[in-house]
Amino acid sequence: MRYTFMVLVAIAVVGVLGIPLGDPRFIYTAITLECAYIALAVLALRIGNGVDVWSRVGTMVKESRSSSKSKSKRSRSSSMIVTVPSIAIASMVIVANTLSTTHLSIMMSLTPLYNALILIVGGYVLQVLLIISSIYEYSRVRLADLNAR
């Protein structure tokens, strides 16, 4: 989860720099999106450090920790907590940036250079890196799960 965590932190930093430049009508949406990235980064950090996420989710589920099969299934589902929403959010951001005519005109003309750089780096480059790192992390956990069998 190290790569996914680093990309999520980079997206959050670029987003914090870009929020004041955006349209004031969408400030609450932008802040909500940044909070989602920060929450995913915290989860990625916790999972990457080996903290059992499921131990904090609910106290009603009592599972034995001795079985390696349940541990591998748990690690795969723990990685899915971060990877699936990361891929979904990154895909939506790329599609939304592409469909927005204002964003396209800023990126094509580079008129406010700082805005265009923030849009290109935060809206495309880092989002593609997030998709790639999420797929990498999930496939790494999945391969470890298959090799454990």
Q: What does the pLDDT look like over 32-65, one tens digit per residue? A: 999 999 999 999 998 877 665 555 544 444 444 4
Q: What does the pLDDT look like over 71-87, one tens digit per residue? A: 555 567 788 889 999 99
Among 10, 9, 29, residue whose Cα is nearest residue 19: 29
Q: Which whole number is the average pLDDT over 10-21?
A: 94
State the number of CA atoms in the 13 A half-sphere of 142 facing the CB: 8
Q: How far is the C-alpha of 146 from the C-alpha of 143, rounded, in Å?
A: 5
Domain ranges of the chain: 2-52+67-148
Burial class of residue 121 (count of CB atoms within 10 Å of its CB; 0-12, 13-18, 19+): middle
Largest Cα span, the chain: 60
Q: Which helix (H) or strand (E) holds 4?
A: helix 2-18
In this prediction, residue 89 has a pLDDT band, given cuts at 50, 70 and 90, of: very high
